[in-house]
Amino acid sequence: MAGDTMFSLAGKTAIVTGANTGIGQAIAVGLANSGAKVACVGRSDMTETIEMTGTPDACLEVRADLATLEPIGRIVESVTEWSGAIDILVNNAGIIRRADAIDFTEEDWDDVMDVNLKSVFFLSQAVAKKMLPRGKGRIINIASLLSFQGGIRIPSYTASKSGVAGLTKLLACEWAAKGINVNAVAPGYIETNNTLALRNDAERNKAIRDRIPAGNWGQPADIAGAVVFLASEAASYVHGITLPVDGGWLAR
């Protein structure tokens, strides 16, 4: 297979969680622009994302809060009924809580772990039950630089994203021979609403930029490009990796 067809997702159906803004929105748009039908999953309105794809008739909005497992069966059945099959799952939805480790609460621990790790596993499990009989599929998890590093004041986030990297390997080990590619992307410092405060802090912004070999913050589309690659036939022999898209941050 050569040329553009290596990266084409025509005829594929993808689920993207947390698709209403930021990285998730860019991923949904990137998959749609590569030819996929996209089910946009999130707690809030996805109209903007769907309009940005340029193919609103090939998009489905599914309202769901992944803080619990309640919506997982509904998500899978809604998308299956809509499109007939699920080819790609992107587990992007995530939350963060900040406090010193000495003061961190059980509630903040559980809230983050439920969304960032527990829902990732059980949604992957539910989708895999549809993929395994077909002998093909792609599951792409959104990890973090905190899958590799410790960070500060975000203990549950670091634990959850380290868990995402480990879970990615585990699922790849179990499912690679059965036709499902499971991989992850680890975003570096990306320009989104979540990083606005950091970018507006002149001292922190400079320190971050000075630490990035590329010399600049990334764009959400940079993450979308990596996801499209991992979802495509070009990555058919890629299993169990966590791919940093970080401007070289981890290399320094």
| Residues identified as active-site | 157
Nearest to 158 by CA among 169, 170, 143: 143
Q: Which two tokens stand for residue 179?
A: 């036709």
Query: Is 11 exposed, middle or buried, given 0-12, 13-18 or 19+ CB atoms closer than 10 A?
Result: exposed
Do 151 and 205 meet the contact criterion of CB atoms below 8 Å apart?
A: no
DSSP 189: S
Query: For tokens 């769901």, what's the residue?
Result: 64
DSSP 62: E
Cα separation of 56 and 32, whole Å?
A: 9
Q: Which two tokens stand for residue 215?
A: 């010399």
Q: Which two tokens stand for residue 194?
A: 């979540």
